[in-house]
A and B are shown apart, each in its own frame.
Chain A
Amino acid sequence: MVTRVPALVAALLLTGAGCLGPLAGPVDVEIVTRQPGAENELELQVVTVESAIDLARGEGELFTFRAGQTFYSSPFLEQAAYDDRTPEELFEAARGDGSTPDPDLYREDGVIRAREHDSLMYLSSFAHLERAMQFYRDTLDRPSTATERPPVVSFYGGIVASPILPLPVNLSDNAAYFAQADGLFVVPTVLQSEGVAPFFEPGVAVHELSHRVFEHRVFLGGDAVPLWKRATYPAGYADTTSQEDLTRVALNPERRGFNEGIADIHAVGYTRDPDLLGGVSPSGSALRNLEGPLAEVTFRDLVDANVQEDLISGCRLDAGGDNLNNRALNYYCLGTVLAIALWEASDADADVLVAEVLPRVQDGLDLLGERVAERSLESGELTFRTDDGLDSIVRAFAGHPRQADVCAAFGARYADLFAAGGVPSCP
């Protein structure tokens, strides 16, 4: 009896995940990802996670996962609190409570596997974010503060308006970068039935990380920071600025659309599939497909709603109005036009996109940051213009043989901006 008790206790303990011990990289894990090569379909694969400090507890060299992590959209209500703090201090203040993740894992044949869906989502999103970081740092050779400073990744967390108003908005069926806390969201699947949950698609991790890169390169590096704060935390400035102006700047569709286009084209560069979200939403990915219904649509077509009926409803266009001031606009459609232009500038070739175009797009974002700062200081509010974005990217191609292709592709999609002299770096 005495000798059997320790064995019994051991057997009971072995049913728990704790018996795996710390899982430091390199560690082989089974995740949902794309097959390498021509098939490029989503499937279960074993990959090696390199950067884990303790994978079973969400700790990594490149980021930290926190289960149920809350982010605050307005950590403070007084303008002075924002004026007095750096962006890094505001990000810290915008992060609320979270827990150490406790995924249900087991080891089989030396591979860490998940017993159930949410734990598989956890492993997959960890691995995909690691690879997204490596894509920027190694493949594109364009590290930035966004890929050097570890973000917090909220796993199945939510957004709360403010610490003093702790009513959570729980996210579902999506994925997100949350600029206020400089963090990322892996979100549970609740309503979605087709396809796979977003973070199973490796391109989604690259897309969301690209938002962080955009924010850091364009807004956080220079003189536009005070005006970026006003656009990012509008609740703190409501006493001194009209709600109308704060909302207009915060929800600027040109800025958001451009940001989405940059994120999409980087995701396509990683996955090598222009139908970026085909695996996530087979019936609903058309408007993000670079070879889909927006393939022949220009920027002016969208602004004037000069498109077929299904695109008017899909892009939520106001048939009679100026859609750059349409708050209901599906700005992702503006993003797809940009991504299509960059795809065409790459001859629809993923190798060209990754080797030649995307690194210079990154350089262009740095130039765009300088231009945004100049415009914003002139106007007194965060000012983003599509033609500034295009011209900055073209300038980054100076002296490169592909600049002409970029100018041609941009010229085809943004003819009215070219005609108005908004992209002077193109001949």
Chain B
Amino acid sequence: MSVTALALLLTCAPALEVNVDLDAQLVGKAAVDPGRGQSHLLAGVRGGLLTPLGGGVRAGFDVGLHSELLPRVRGTTRVNSVALESTLAPRGIVGWRASWGPLALFPYAFAGPKVGVRFLFLTAFDEVRNNTHPTWALRGGGGLTFVVGRTRMGVEIGGGVGERGLESYGLLTTGLAL
């Protein structure tokens, strides 16, 4: 989003919604066997701005920072690899908020890139090799957030394409509207 567009958004928005969420994200994507896939469990935080555009429609953006909490280990003590992935994902969001007093539902769609780093260490006998390399994906999807007062909870599913091919994910989130 350009600086000009952000300035317009801020000056025209009568009320901004700033959210901070805690996510648990399960990503499935290709390994050597693309049919089998591989699951990655990441946790992280997201923060964003949503502005009402009228008629319940809200649009904005958020940025998520996630990392795998537990390294994925494959192999034996003599030959094995350990992998951890961390990602940064800014994205645009548009949705429609239905409110009933302190309660609200917010179904939404989103799209955006994801960039990250895969920390890979391959141990073969006495040699430890660092194979850390960047990752990327372009993703889109949808979600549904439940709002009670300032508290937010939600689910999200999405998919896209990255440097290892197709990937899909599901996410649970909880957070606060500031």
Contact = CB atoms under 8 A, between A and B. Distances in A.
B177 to A, nearest CB: 34
Contacts of B31: 102, 104, 118
B35 interface: yes
B32 A17 contact: no
Given A116-B131, A192-B76, A156 B83 contact: no
Given A42-B125, A117-B79, A156 B36 contact: yes
Interface string A94-108: 000111111110100
Contacts of B32: 67, 101-104, 118-119, 121-122, 155-156
Interface in B64-111: 74-81, 83
Contacts of B34: 67, 99-100, 102
Interface in B154-170: 163-165
Contacts of B125: 42-44
Contacts of A68: 33, 35-36
B35 A99 contact: yes
Interface stretch (B13-21, B133-141, B145-153): B133-141
A76 B79 CA distance: 40
* A: interface residue count bin: 35 or more
A118 B79 CA distance: 10
Contacts of B131: 106, 115-116
Contacts of A219: none
Given A103-B32, A117-B81, A156-B33, A195 B124 contact: no
B74 A118 contact: yes
A156 B77 CA distance: 20
A189 interface: yes
Nearest to B74: A117
A121 B133 CA distance: 20
Contacts of B127: 44
Contacts of A102: 30-34, 164-165
* B: interface residue count bin: 20 to 34
A15 B135 contact: yes
Contact of A194 (B76, B122, B133, B165): B76
B80 A67 contact: no
Interface in B10-59: 30-36
B120 interface: yes
Nearest to B122: A116
Contacts of A121: 32
Interface in A77-132: 97-104, 106, 114-122
Contacts of B81: 115-118, 120
Contacts of B79: 32, 117, 120, 196-197, 200
A156 B165 CA distance: 19
A165 interface: no
Contact of A67 (B36, B75, B133): B36
A2 interface: no
A24 B48 CA distance: 48
Interface in A159-198: 188-189, 192-197
Contacts of A192: 76
A156 B30 CA distance: 13
B80 A98 contact: no
Contacts of A115: 81, 120, 122, 131, 133
Nearest to A100: B34
B178 to A, nearest CB: 34
A419 interface: no
B35 A120 contact: no
B33 A44 contact: no
A12 interface: yes
A425 B81 CA distance: 54
B74 A116 contact: yes
A202 to B, nearest CB: 14
A194 B76 CA distance: 6
A15 B136 contact: yes
5 contacts: A44-B124, A44-B125, A102-B33, A118-B81, A120-B79
* Cβ-closest 3 pairs across A and B: A67-B33, A16-B163, A117-B81
Interface of A: 12-13, 15-17, 32, 42-44, 67-68, 97-104, 106, 114-122, 155-156, 188-189, 192-197, 200
